Amino acid sequence: MEFTQTQKEYFMKEAIFEANRAKTMGEVPIGCVVVDKQGKIIGRGHNLREHSQDATMHAEMLAIQEANEMLKSWRLVDASLFVTLEPCPMCAGAIINSRIKNVYFGAHDPKAGVTGTLMNLVTDSRFNHQANVEAGILEQHCAQLLTSFFREIRKKRKKNRKKEIKD
């Protein structure tokens, strides 16, 4: 791994900034940045599934696509990806396909995380590329974003249900 702890936290904060952009749109707050080896952010993305009604619009996919466009290359050799939540199979697959070198994630995902939790696709030597993985960068902050988002949703639903009963 090439970045200092301070640098890793700096980039994760940029991913959190992206997650907050998703949150303000009512989307599940997940954010991502792709960084080149000089430490320049070359791709940013936040979850846009509901607004786009496109199942592939995860934060990582959008950040990888932007980085591909920036470099005019599908190969993101030497790049690092910072994401607030552990990647799902689709995003782990896109990391393999784009040859990203390092993956740093915040919160673990016990439901769909496949860079360490349910399995580890990006270190599986049967694929033609492997990435390094470091988990738990600003984990509490990243997890908190999600838990408070879902708590708010449950609260609103409860309120609406009570209102319906009264009406």
Question: Applying CB under 8 A, does 54 fall inside the site for a copy of itself?
Answer: yes
- Beta carbons of 106 and 98 less than 8 angstroms apart: no
Strand segments, DSSP code E, in the chain are 31-35, 41-46, 80-85, 102-107, 132-135
Question: Applying CB under 8 A, does 7 fall inside the site for a copy of itself?
Answer: no
CA torsion sign, 129 to 132 to 138 to 140?
positive
Question: Applying CB under 8 A, does 125 fall inside the site for a copy of itself?
Answer: no
Q: What are phi and psi of 161, to 5 degrees?
A: -65, -45
Closest contact distance (angstroms) between CB of 151 and a copy of itself is 20
Sheet holding 102-107, edge to edge: 41-46, 31-35, 80-85, 102-107, 132-135
Closest contact distance (angstroms) between CB of 137 and a copy of itself is 22
Binding residue for a copy of itself, selected from 4, 6, 38, 53, defined by CB under 8 A: 53
Query: Residue 18 catalytic?
Result: no
Question: Applying CB under 8 A, does 69 fall inside the site for a copy of itself?
Answer: yes
- Beta carbons of 92 and 116 less than 8 angstroms apart: no
Residue placing its CB nearer to a copy of itself in the complex, 10 or 127: 127
- Which residues carry out catalysis? 60
Site residues for a copy of itself per CB under 8 A: 49-50, 52-58, 61, 64-65, 68-69, 72-76, 88-94, 96-99, 111-112, 118, 121, 124, 126-128
